């Protein structure tokens, strides 16, 4: 009798142990699937990388390979930039308003997207036009002077090369003085002309900048067309259910509980 009780107790402990192991395995599987879903959805809705890339593009940074094979952003020289820091910051504020999780999880039809894009384009176009002198970068006096010096040096070199080609005697000092004298009475006009030319060169970037910004906002809205982004997440969730994950309870917050974090 004593042996029979011992055997029964042993079997009972074994059953409890097996049940605990199965429960632990099920919980581990559920945790893995939930983590996988969360990582997948967070990656799908993650906008920080996109905004970071936009920020670098607005500053006209460029990608350069490093020794370990990675691509790293490098800044351009200040005199090559089109936008001021104020312009970059303002456009980033605009992009952050549209390129975000809330927009992606919205539900827009074709008419709503068209209206929102029209409002966006009209507002952005008017704002940039009215404040272009603040947002677009124009050359400084030092930059204009440097460009004028380069122009004078080129004139000197052209003159020297021309004389040498015809076998004439070249007095470089005399040539430099003649070129400098020819510019002497019009230095102010030359600096003004250089300033206006560089100013117009930067402003010609306006249309492309506007088009690129519009394209990003339009793409974000189209991902929210008829709630497609939310639908995509739900489809991932349904697949997880098919492979054995139990449906989340209301108490747990459901599959979108982490979207509010």
Q: b/e for 1-29, b at 16 or more Cβ within 10 A?
A: eeeeeeeeeeeeeeeeeeeeeeeeeeeee
* Spatial separation of the C-alpha atoms in residues 25 and 142, rounded to whole Å: 71
Q: How confident is the model at residue 51 (pLDDT cuts 50, 70, 90)?
A: very high
Is residue 86 predicted with pLDDT exceeding 70? yes
Query: What pLDDT, in 10s, does the model give residues 92-132?
Result: 999 999 999 888 888 999 999 999 999 999 999 999 999 99
Comparing 221 with 4, the larger pLDDT belongs to: 221
Is residue 249 predicted with pLDDT exceeding 60? no
Comparing 80 with 233, the larger pLDDT belongs to: 80
Query: Does residue 131 contact residue 155 with C-beta atoms inside 8 Å?
Result: no
Q: State CA 216 to chain mean position distance.
A: 9
Q: b/e for 106-131, b at 16 or more Cβ within 10 A?
A: bebeeeebeebbeebbeebeeebeee
- pLDDT the model gives residue 250: 42
Mean pLDDT of 245-253: 47
Sign of the Cα torsion 246, 248, 252, 255 reads: positive
Reference 203, options 195, 191, 214; nearest CA is: 195
As a whole number of angstroms, the longest Cα–Cα distance in the chain is 129
Sign of the Cα torsion 85, 87, 93, 98 reads: negative
Query: Does residue 34 contact residue 253 with C-beta atoms inside 8 Å?
Result: no
Is residue 28 predicted with pLDDT exceeding 50? no
Query: What pLDDT, in 10s, does the model give residues 160-172?
Result: 888 888 878 878 8
Reference 206, options 117, 144, 135; nearest CA is: 135
Sequence ranges of the domains in the chain? 2-137+206-260, 141-201
């Amino acid at each position: 009798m004593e042996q029979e009780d011992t055997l029964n107790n042993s079997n009972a402990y074994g059953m409890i142990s097996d049940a605990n192991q199965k429960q632990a395995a099920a919980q581990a599987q559920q945790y893995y699937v939930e983590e996988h879903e969360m990582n997948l959805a967070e990656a799908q809705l993650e906008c920080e990388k996109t905004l970071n890339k936009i920020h670098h593009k607005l500053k006209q940074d460029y990608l350069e390979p490093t020794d370990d094979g990675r691509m790293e952003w490098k800044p351009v020289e200040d005199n090559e930039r089109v936008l001021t820091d104020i312009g970059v910051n303002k456009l980033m504020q605009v992009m952050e308003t549209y390129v975000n999780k809330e927009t992606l999880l919205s539900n827009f039809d074709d008419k709503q997207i068209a209206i929102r894009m029209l409002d966006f384009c009209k507002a952005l176009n008017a704002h940039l036009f009215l404040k272009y002198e603040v947002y677009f970068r124009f050359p400084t006096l030092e930059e204009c002077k440097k460009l004028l010096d380069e122009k004078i040096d080129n004139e000197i070199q052209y003159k020297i090369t021309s004389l040498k080609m015809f076998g004439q005697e070249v007095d470089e000092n005399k040539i430099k003085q003649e070129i400098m004298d020819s510019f002497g009475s019009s230095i102010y006009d030359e600096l003004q002309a250089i300033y206006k030319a560089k100013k117009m060169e930067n402003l010609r970037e306006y249309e492309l900048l506007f088009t690129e910004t519009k394209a990003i906002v339009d793409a974000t809205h189209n991902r929210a067309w008829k709630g497609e982004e939310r639908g995509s997440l739900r489809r991932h969730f349904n697949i997880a259910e098919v492979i054995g994950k139990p449906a989340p309870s209301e108490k747990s917050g459901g599959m979108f509980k982490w979207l509010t974090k």
